Amino acid sequence: MHLSEILNHLGETREHYFQAVSPPVIQSSNFAYRSLDEFRQAFADELRHHLYTRGNNPTVHILRQKLAALEKAEDCLVFGSGMAAISAAVLANVSAGSHVVCVQSPYSWMKSLLMHYLPRFGVEHSFADGRSVASIEQAIRPNTSLIYLESPNSLTFELQDLAACAELARSRGITTCVDNSYCSPVFQNPIELGIDLVVHSGTKYINGHSDVVLGVLCGSSAMVKKIFDAEYMTLGGILSPHDAALAIRGLRTLELRMQRSDSSAMAIARYLEGHPKVEKVLHPLLPSFPQYELAQRQMRGAGGLFSFYLKADRIEQAEVFIEQLQHFLLAVSWGGHESLILPSAAFYKIPGRPDSTQPWNLVRLYIGLEDAQWLISALDKALEAV
């Protein structure tokens, strides 16, 4: 199906709501039935009927259909946060005594789920260098039930060869799950490469306006049904109808926003790569990136997120750059309209906490929808001050 069809029309049965162009927010917790027979049918298959909004809601359902089609998946569930989606995907594929192979630097709270939470339930894990399929293979044990990938990750952008990982996992009967937040469905579709489950922090590009926290989980109908009946309904981490409507609005411009952030970020990364006060730029689609060839083969674009190392001897020089930089908001997260800076120096000198293991001169930038030249002139001034 054409991307334009998905973003503008799919799932929108306008004859159900006065031919309204923009779908209504069905802000109702439950739904009434006209006959006992229909009521019974709804109980028989809650995933496909509107019974209660913790299960299914018409506004949320429109969003689910669009996201499934975007990821070329059979079905999709949405959650109240990316972590709720990730936790559901992981919990659905482990039980006491099983083992998870995970890439070395996944999203921080995913790491916490494996290291601090799941051991309470007898679930073990190993971290493997995802840049090499062999190292993932070496980490597999007889009780491995899930391989968890994130390609690229959101700070240093290591990739995994998704098709090769999927093939390896399939030959061992292991489920694969990929966090695809970095590329968004516009630039990468892991299910096409043989991956079983795709998760997103929809908080980032999918909603795209820094006003909703949202999680996405895409997979086969059977896997989605299994997760619906267990993690989704029992843990209850749903998205509200109002937030679903905001995300549907966000999707209208997903392709445009991705293209804009992608081309601006590329121009800014190239500018920084040529700057004497920059030691190195990390951007998967720059030829200097160690996995450039794989990135070119596997991704259709990179979006707005990349990092660089300042050329500096003392943390105070990085602090000057950060404090002087205009137009970029000092903030976590990414994927909205606004450009952001997340310097590793922010994870130094935190009262009561050890310093980060990342070097203090590593700076992550997110390039939003502003004019690239306007952002470059701000970077130019701040680098001048270093």
Ligand X SMILES: *Cc1c(COP(=O)(O)O)cnc(C)c1O
The answer to whether 58 contacts ligand X (rule: CB under 6 A) is no
- Distance CA(192)–CA(177), nearest Å, equals 13
Q: Which stretch binds ligand X (CB under 6 A): 79-87, 116-124, 184-192, 251-259?
A: 79-87
Residue closer to ligand X by CB (options 78, 174) is 78
The answer to whether 179 contacts ligand X (rule: CB under 6 A) is yes
Residue closer to ligand X by CB (options 58, 82) is 82
Residues facing 201 on adjacent strands: 215
Per the CB < 8 A criterion, the answer to whether 178 and 89 are in contact is no
The answer to whether 181 contacts ligand X (rule: CB under 6 A) is yes
The answer to whether 213 contacts ligand X (rule: CB under 6 A) is yes
Q: Which stretch binds ligand X (CB under 6 A): 36-44, 75-83, 258-266, 275-283?
A: 75-83
The answer to whether 215 contacts ligand X (rule: CB under 6 A) is yes
The answer to whether 82 contacts ligand X (rule: CB under 6 A) is yes
Residue closer to ligand X by CB (options 212, 322) is 212
- Distance CA(378)–CA(107), nearest Å, equals 29
- State the DSSP string of 32-99: --SSHHHHHHHHHTGGGS-SBTTT--HHHHHHHHHHHHHTT-SEEEEESSHHHHHHHHHHTT--TT-E
Residue closer to ligand X by CB (options 51, 198) is 198
Q: Which stretch binds ligand X (CB under 6 A): 69-77, 114-122, 123-131, 199-207?
A: 199-207
The answer to whether 302 contacts ligand X (rule: CB under 6 A) is no
Residue closer to ligand X by CB (options 75, 243) is 243
The answer to whether 154 contacts ligand X (rule: CB under 6 A) is yes
Q: Which stretch binds ligand X (CB under 6 A): 80-88, 120-128, 162-170, 378-386?
A: 80-88
Residue closer to ligand X by CB (options 26, 213) is 213
CB of 16 to ligand X, least distance (A): 30
- Distance CA(67)–CA(250), nearest Å, equals 12
The answer to whether 55 contacts ligand X (rule: CB under 6 A) is no
Rule CB under 6 A: choose which of 107, 232, 309, 321 binds ligand X.
107
- Distance CA(338)–CA(209), nearest Å, equals 8
CB of 113 to ligand X, least distance (A): 11
- Distance CA(288)–CA(18), nearest Å, equals 54
Rule CB under 6 A: choose which of 93, 144, 145, 201 binds ligand X.
201
Give the residue closest to ligand X by C-beta.
82
Quote the tokens at residue 26: 């069905």
Which contiguous run of DSSP H or E holds residue 136?
helix 133-139
- Distance CA(71)–CA(319), nearest Å, equals 40
CB of 81 to ligand X, least distance (A): 3
Q: How many residues bind ligand X (CB under 6 A)?
A: 12
The answer to whether 68 contacts ligand X (rule: CB under 6 A) is no
Q: Name, in order, each residue with C-beta under 8 angstroms of 171's C-beta and a sequence gap of 6 or more.
A: none
Which contiguous run of DSSP H or E holds residue 185?
helix 184-187
Of residues 59, 25, 34, 71, the one with CA closest to residue 206: 71
Per the CB < 8 A criterion, the answer to whether 73 and 223 are in contact is no
Over its C-alpha atoms, the chain yields an Rg (Å, rounded) of 22
* List of residues contacting ligand X (CB under 6 A): 81-83, 107, 154, 179, 181, 201, 203-204, 213, 215
